[in-house]
Structure 1
Amino acid sequence: MQVLKFGGTSLSNVTKFLDVSKIIESKFQQTETAVVLSAPAKITNYLDQINQSIITKCDIEPILQKIKKIFYELSNNIIKNQKNFPNIKINKYIDNKIEYLKNQIKYVSLHQKNIDKNFAEIISTGEIISVKIMSTLFIAKKYSVFIIHPEQQIIATNDYLDANVKIKESKNNIQKLKIPKKHIIFMPGFIAGNKKKELVTLGRNGSDYSAAILSVCLDAKICEIWTDVDGVYTADPRIVPNAKLLQKLSYQEAIELSSFGATVLHPKTILPLSQFNIKCIIKNTYFPENLGTIITNNIKKPIESIKGITYLGNITLITIKIDTIDFMESIINKLFLFFYKNKNRILSTINSYLEKKIFFYIIQKKTNRIKNCLIEKIKNELTDYIINYIHIDTKINMISIVGSNIQKNDKIKKKIFHALEKTNFKIITINTQNSENSINIITNNKNITENIQIIHDQILHPIHTIEIFIIGIGGVGTALIEQIQTQQKKLKDKNIEFKICGIANSKNMLINLQGINLTTWKKDFYQSKTKFCIKQLIQYGKNISLFNPVVVDCTASQTITNEYYNILKNNIHIVTPNKKANTDSWEKYTKIRKISMKSNKNFLYETNVSAGLPIIKTLKNLFDSGDKLINFRGILSGSLSFIFGKLEEGLSISEATIMAKKLGFTEPNPKDDLSGIDVARKILILAREAGYKLELNDINIIPILPGHLLDIKNEKIFFKELKKLDTFFLKKIKNAQDNKKVLRFIGTIQKEGCCRVQLTEIDQTDPLYNVKNGENALIIHSKYYQPMPLVLRGYGAGNNVTAAGIFSDLLQILS
């Protein structure tokens, strides 16, 4: 025997109604089947509106017509698919039910007696009509059906609107029915009867409870709850879009999740299924082939793991300050009974013996209206004790993290508390006393949904995400975007996501915190009307929904580097090939590092020197391990390496420089390369890494070009004047070759931090002799590396290698 329950959204129109009939038909072919139906979507809400309208004496006729229309549309459309369906007979049945409703409403309005009893009969009408239509459809299909009338067979307490079922008595009644074999059993959900045979209801979402009870009564092996989602998720998908489906849950985990806010199942539903060891499966009516979520007691050795995050809002916190702790337990017991009688669900209690306070967290509707009344009632309950004060706070929120035995697992708890650090929560308290399977975070934050998403993704989302804001889309910036797009699949395989959320140049910016479409980014960028503003970009970057926001500065702009302090202060990482910040004054240099450490955010600049060659990381690791620099020599300019290599092949200096610029080897302004200032900046960066407190003007630059050329600002004029030096440099190259030497532009760091950059003739015995065509080489003599130096060699310029170096720095943020 299996029991199937279908909710209102699964029955909301004729297409879905007929889909449900197909599922029932298919299931019945496999085994004996009982079906519990809710009212179609909106019907119960309309009926509830009628009950409220009786109190407020509003016109209920429009609501009745809406109800009639929904059921008429079902009936009149079913006949189009099932020709012998008696829609006229069903429509008359609907009319009679609507007429009966009118009489009940009139009676209640006139007499104002037995209001809850009549409200229960009114609000349950939808389920009864729903079963009538579905059972008639199956009779038309030539199936035998058996209808259980729950008001006669399912025995519950006298509470008309929120009754609890007496399982033993109900089971006796059902088993006395002697239901014939090969009959599909139908029963309206949400309904039971008291000992007086009066109809009572089981509370909102009570149809699930009905299905669980019927499963027990029929000794069913499986209870399937068919709804509009695939099952139970790690969080509410409406709040957390990347919540994951849980394929299997223990009943204990399901109880915890539902108790603290998971809406797929009601706690009352789970208890009888768990008690009688009946497997429950949550299924999606729209995708019946999907596996859903299985809830069972038969999970071997539950793993200590987090299963989900739930949320309950509008909780009431009642704080009671007592005179002495001697009677604390007595007061708590008395208040438990008081809240139970008043139908207040207690979520949590915390006792503070030190402060002599008791904290009750309860679900209380319309608390603001009855706050003072509630205080007086509590005082009346506690007249035997000295109470200093009672305080009530409303609109408290509770986020619960649920999983098997998570209280016993220190690693899991550490993970949770680390996730909380990422939020801007104002935490009232963290309660670990309720259960070994949950941790409750109590907060009065108003905008809580973003924080739930952050906690969920930090704890349960396996993807390590970096949100990237790229400033500068010249050669390097564009190459980086292309590399990220190309590597997406490989990154995903390693549970890494590089999400580009911002692209900017000096004029415009394109922002999408969900991730920019990298296949259309150029078109989207140039269509963007958002003007670039670094301060506005920082505001986007500090959005709390981002995990690891990072600004990638691919410009040579001093204006952007002036904002590095603010970027880091706002908890945003920086990765940059821009050398300006690291070659600014010593004061600014140290200021950036201090804020980086204080905010615990990375400032990474591997590509400041030699593009993708790992010189910065190498030096940091050496010096952190106690090594000390003795001296350094190196070719640090890929552009000058390329240019002088081409001069050896016979090109002129102007031709080689133009070629280097086209290939992306030079700085945005090639004059920075030929002046030697770019190499000087790199030497300064390395010297500072080695511990020397130097400024840029401490670097001795022996320029390649005469001074008048360096003063030219117009690029065309610069290249025109540079051409005049072609013969001069060809002669220098020939003279060096005649001496079996080559020209290399070399930077050096000697003892006491004496630094120099200059064009030098070197012979074949020098390790730098063969370094050309864009290569860099770095020779480090240190305490650990002597007499044989540490040598690093490779391409030190070019858009792709620089972008690759930035890519590597981005990966380092996750390490």
Structure 2
Amino acid sequence: MNVLKFGGSSVANATTIEKVIEIIEKQSRNKSLYVVVSALGGVTDLLIQAGKEASSNNDTYKSTLITIENRHLEAIKELIPVVSQSSIISKVKSELNKLESLCEGVYLLSELSPKTESVIASFGEMLSSFIIAEAAKVKGLDIVLKDSRDYIITTDATKVTIDYEETNFRIKRYAQDNNHQVSLFPGFIAKTSDGEPTTLGRGGSDFTAAILASAVQADKLQIWTDVSGMYTANPKLVKQAKPVTHISYQEAMELSHFGAKVIYPPTIHPVLDKNIPIVIKNTFQPEDEGTLITREVANRPKPVTGISHIDNISVISLEGSGMVGIPGFSKRLFEALFLANINVILITQASSEHSICLAVDEQDAEKAKLVLDTAFEFEITKHKVDPVKIENNAAIVALVGDNMYHHQGLSGKMFSTLGKNNVNIRAIAQGASEKNISVVIGKKDIKKALNILHERFFEVKTKQLNLFVTGVGNVGSKLLSQLEQQKSYLKDKLRLKIRVVGISNSRTMTFDEQGIKLDSWEEALATGEKANSEKFFITAKEMNIRNSIFVDNTANPDIAKVYKHYLAESMAVVTCNKIACADEYANYSELQELSRKFSASFLYETNVGAGLPIIDTLNNLIASGDNVHKIQAVLSGSLNFVFNNYKEGVNFYDVVKQAQEEGYTEPDPKIDLSGVDVARKILILARESGNIMELEDIEKEAFLPEESLETNSVDAFFESLKANESHFKQILDEANKKECRLKYVAQYEDGKAKVGLQHIPADHPFYNLEGSDNIVLFYTDRYPQQPLIVKGAGAGADVTASGIFADIIRIGKK
């Protein structure tokens, strides 16, 4: 014999009930069945709502009852042929009249006792089981409807305590006399030995089925629901979650106690002693394997079986010196909560005994505080114990697995994974068996915590990065194009999934937690909301997505000012905007400190040489113990392009205009030609070398005339270049006379830095530097005479975007 239980989602309406009947009919061909059904989906909530509305003297309970009636009549009309409907509808309406009379009495008395509430709640299962039994008879099934209240007996009307001796006797006696292929029982309902109606609590239909299975020593208990088994995590919050094919009773109990809604926690106890397997199956996909629950599981590949959570938790803290070394203190605490019928979900106590922290359901928090403040009133008055503190908006996340105790470092992996994503742990509880590691975190972090832990413990080392990109001009648009082009390679070769979840330009911004389609991001941005850098950050913070990276492709000083806010939220920052790192040293230092403090990467390789690994090379030299004595560099691809192309017969204005149009300069070319850009770059290298230096400390040798430097618009700047062609021609002639080339050189030596236009002779490493290439010479302890050279393309949207891409990949590999 098998026992099958179908939950509310499985019997929600006529369509789903027909699927249930198909499953019952198929299985009953081979074995006799006991079938337990819940109320139609949502009806129990409506019944309790009607009772509470009536007790509040609110006549809206009448409309709630009409909704309940319509739900059942609609099911009958779709399931039962018209010729057979009359008697069934009459029976249902008779029961609904009893329900209406009960609610009317509650309304008149303005009182809803636990006993009356149980009776009202029981109508859901009684009505659904009757309708399903009649619909099954229409299909030709040999089925009989039994009243669970005649078989399941409790010892108390208010507490779910089963009288197993009497219950088992009644069920076994029925089994001996039963000659029907299918016996249908309403779940959830029971009665006391005195005949008072009661219920088995929310989720009690599972319990009903387990009690039946245990009493008749069933071959298998099947729990049919709307998901294909118990999952590695809540699939509604973790898209990558997968069903677990086989788990142990203990694991199932841990997962069910910690929020897994698939199975009701007490369900496992009646079948555990009898070693009856439980199978979780999907009513809507019956061919799926589902989850098998047995005493032991062999050949488990992973240490962690599942990740579960409980929402709406409050943390109760009791602390004080008067607790230390006092016998019986904990007994008084838990006894007070027990007498107040408050369930404690998690407990942790400091070894000093100075504090006890426990978690309760949020709705019990104020009651718990009142109870404990009263219980320890004397100690509080004498200042030996502090008044109870409550922290609301908390949640519990638990790692569960029988094999966890075989694996070292699981706790550390859990805590470090949460910490790297700015998920603060408020309390920790772990049993000596290590089958459950639980942490209390903020409720707002639940989704992020579940996803990063699932990624860490279950996924095939595929890491998801979520980008918030601001600036989609030349560089930004190239970056998005490269991300789209390389997504398959990243997933297959590097095990990285990169999603862009926020995009902004100077006018609009748009967000999509599921990822913005990179082949149509322009359309999404065009219909976005008005851009605002502060709101962009607030939205990114509120989205609270794991592995978040803010990417700045602008040269905007206002954007650079918000980096610290991202880093303080443990969001990585990748930028080609060199303003932040070239700002006052105190601000540069603050960003570095925030990066370390909150374990948030701050990468800006493209600040100096576009896609060239200049900063990375310098950092590796220093990390390995080398000392930098001197840096010589051509760091402006823009200026190198300009002076490589400025020759006899060509106007300086035309060359600069070409450089701007081809994306080699900043939008305002004066930034490049004034030397400010190069000064910022050598400043960054000096700081990365360990030197404390400000931008004004750098000696700048300008080659632009004052007229050009004093312009206040791009157009005015270009006009000044035209007007001063003779000035630039003279600079070129002087270099040609010396058989030298013009290069704008940056130099750092002995704690000092300078930038300026220089005549480079033919035997110098800079002489043959072509196009927009950059070159850097590092003279160090290990490279005193022959410098370490980094050389390559140092400007252009493509190479800059590739440098930003490389920084993103570097974060992904951590």
- Cα–Cα, structure 1 residues 410 and 328, in superposed 2: closer, same or farther, change >3 Å? farther
User: 1:190, 1:205 within 8 Å by CA — same for their partners in 2?
Assistant: yes
- Cα–Cα, structure 1 residues 504 and 402, in superposed 2: closer, same or farther, change >3 Å? closer
- Cα–Cα, structure 1 residues 766 and 138, in superposed 2: closer, same or farther, change >3 Å? same
For residue 799 of structure 1, report the CA deviation from its aligned partner: 0.3
1:92 corresponds to 2:113: no
1:418 corresponds to 2:416: yes
Matched AA of 1:403: V
Farther-moved stretch of structure 1 (588-597 vs 16-25): 588-597
Structure 1 residues 15-34: aligned runs within 5 Å: 15-29=15-29, 31-34=31-34
Q: Secondary structure at the match of 1:778?
A: strand
Structure 1 residues 244-393: aligned runs within 5 Å: 245-300=243-298, 303-305=302-304, 307-311=306-310, 313=312, 328=327, 344-348=342-346
For residue 440 of structure 1, report the CA deviation from its aligned partner: 4.3
Using the alignment, how far apart are the partners of 1:109 and 1:676 within structure 2? 83
For residue 90 of structure 1, report the CA deviation from its aligned partner: 1.2
Farther-moved stretch of structure 1 (711-720 vs 726-735): 726-735
Partner of 1:771: 769
For residue 320 of structure 1, report the CA deviation from its aligned partner: 10
User: 2:228, 2:282 within 8 Å by CA — same for their partners in 1?
Assistant: yes
User: 1:245, 1:293 within 8 Å by CA — same for their partners in 2?
Assistant: yes
Q: Secondary structure at the match of 1:773?
A: coil
Partner of 1:404: 401
For residue 609 of structure 1, report the CA deviation from its aligned partner: 1.7
Matched AA of 1:575: V
Matched AA of 2:396: I
Matched AA of 2:606: T
Using the alignment, how far apart are the partners of 1:109 and 1:535 within structure 2? 53
Matched AA of 1:660: A
Using the alignment, how far apart are the partners of 1:775 and 1:132 within structure 2? 82
Q: 437, 448, 452: which one pairs with 2:446?
A: 452
Q: Secondary structure at the match of 2:293?
A: strand
For residue 520 of structure 1, report the CA deviation from its aligned partner: 3.5
User: 1:348, 1:360 within 8 Å by CA — same for their partners in 2?
Assistant: yes
1:78 corresponds to 2:76: no
Q: Deviations over 1:204-229 (max 9, x none)?
A: 22111111122223433332222234
Matched AA of 1:578: N
Matched AA of 1:504: S
Q: Deviations over 1:69-116 (max 9, x none)?
A: 32222111213xxx4872122112223433555677799999999976
Partner of 1:473: 472
User: 2:148, 2:190 within 8 Å by CA — same for their partners in 1?
Assistant: yes
Partner of 1:521: 521
For residue 185 of structure 1, report the CA deviation from its aligned partner: 2.9
- Cα–Cα, structure 1 residues 85 and 606, in superposed 2: closer, same or farther, change >3 Å? farther
Farther-moved stretch of structure 1 (801-810 vs 148-157): 148-157
Matched AA of 1:217: A
User: 1:231, 1:245 within 8 Å by CA — same for their partners in 2?
Assistant: yes
Using the alignment, how far apart are the partners of 1:18 and 1:36 within structure 2? 15
Using the alignment, how far apart are the partners of 2:310 and 2:546 within structure 1? 21
For residue 48 of structure 1, report the CA deviation from its aligned partner: 3.7
Q: Deviations over 1:535-580 (max 9, x none)?
A: 4444344448244444433233344445555654565543322333
Using the alignment, how far apart are the partners of 1:320 and 1:779 within structure 2? 61
- Cα–Cα, structure 1 residues 440 and 687, in superposed 2: closer, same or farther, change >3 Å? closer
Using the alignment, how far apart are the partners of 1:231 and 1:741 within structure 2? 77
Structure 1 residues 672-691: aligned runs within 5 Å: 672-691=671-690
Q: Secondary structure at the match of 1:416?
A: helix
Q: Secondary structure at the match of 1:9?
A: coil
Please tell me the root mean square deviation across aligned C-alpha atoms, in Å: 4.6
User: 1:744, 1:762 within 8 Å by CA — same for their partners in 2?
Assistant: no
Matched AA of 1:304: P
Q: Secondary structure at the match of 1:124?
A: helix
Q: 800, 810, 813: which one pairs with 1:812?
A: 810
Matched AA of 2:454: L
User: 1:641, 1:773 within 8 Å by CA — same for their partners in 2?
Assistant: yes
For residue 38 of structure 1, report the CA deviation from its aligned partner: 1.2
Q: TM-score, normalised by structure 2?
A: 0.83
Using the alignment, how far apart are the partners of 2:324 and 2:688 within structure 1? 61
For residue 288 of structure 1, report the CA deviation from its aligned partner: 3.4
Q: Deviations over 1:269-298 (max 9, x none)?
A: 011232222222323333434443333323
- Cα–Cα, structure 1 residues 390 and 190, in superposed 2: closer, same or farther, change >3 Å? farther
Q: Secondary structure at the match of 2:664?
A: coil
Partner of 1:486: 485
Q: Secondary structure at the match of 2:73?
A: helix
Q: Secondary structure at the match of 1:162?
A: coil
Q: 791, 802, 807: which one pairs with 1:793?
A: 791
Partner of 1:642: 641
Partner of 1:627: 626
Q: Secondary structure at the match of 1:177?
A: helix
Using the alignment, how far apart are the partners of 1:111 and 1:206 within structure 2? 29
Q: Deviations over 1:19-76 (max 9, x none)?
A: 2222323333565433211121243334445655786677676555444332222111
Using the alignment, how far apart are the partners of 2:319 and 2:745 within structure 1? 77
Partner of 1:5: 5
User: 2:187, 2:209 within 8 Å by CA — same for their partners in 1?
Assistant: yes
Q: 151, 154, 164: which one pairs with 1:153?
A: 151
Using the alignment, how far apart are the partners of 1:788 and 1:627 within structure 2? 15
User: 1:676, 1:758 within 8 Å by CA — same for their partners in 2?
Assistant: no
Matched AA of 1:256: E
Using the alignment, how far apart are the partners of 1:215 and 1:91 within structure 2? 32
Farther-moved stretch of structure 1 (143-152 vs 708-717): 708-717
User: 2:316, 2:369 within 8 Å by CA — same for their partners in 1?
Assistant: no
Matched AA of 2:635: L
- Cα–Cα, structure 1 residues 556 and 49, in superposed 2: closer, same or farther, change >3 Å? closer
- Cα–Cα, structure 1 residues 281 and 600, in superposed 2: closer, same or farther, change >3 Å? same
Using the alignment, how far apart are the partners of 1:475 and 1:515 within structure 2? 22
- Cα–Cα, structure 1 residues 174 and 391, in superposed 2: closer, same or farther, change >3 Å? farther
- Cα–Cα, structure 1 residues 86 and 343, in superposed 2: closer, same or farther, change >3 Å? farther
- Cα–Cα, structure 1 residues 526 and 169, in superposed 2: closer, same or farther, change >3 Å? closer
Q: Secondary structure at the match of 1:249?
A: strand
User: 2:219, 2:276 within 8 Å by CA — same for their partners in 1?
Assistant: yes
Using the alignment, how far apart are the partners of 1:105 and 1:712 within structure 2? 83
Matched AA of 1:454: K
Gaps of 5+ in 2: 457-461
- Cα–Cα, structure 1 residues 206 and 630, in superposed 2: closer, same or farther, change >3 Å? closer
Matched AA of 2:779: H
Structure 1 residues 536-575: aligned runs within 5 Å: 536-543=535-542, 545-564=544-563, 568=567, 571-575=570-574
Matched AA of 1:162: V
User: 2:325, 2:353 within 8 Å by CA — same for their partners in 1?
Assistant: no
Using the alignment, how far apart are the partners of 1:351 and 1:713 within structure 2? 66
User: 1:160, 1:199 within 8 Å by CA — same for their partners in 2?
Assistant: no
User: 1:423, 1:451 within 8 Å by CA — same for their partners in 2?
Assistant: no
1:69 corresponds to 2:64: no
Tell me the matched-pair count: 800
Using the alignment, how far apart are the partners of 1:359 and 1:565 within structure 2? 33
Partner of 1:608: 607
User: 1:704, 1:758 within 8 Å by CA — same for their partners in 2?
Assistant: yes
For residue 166 of structure 1, report the CA deviation from its aligned partner: 1.0
Q: 185, 189, 192: which one pairs with 1:191?
A: 189
Partner of 2:200: 202
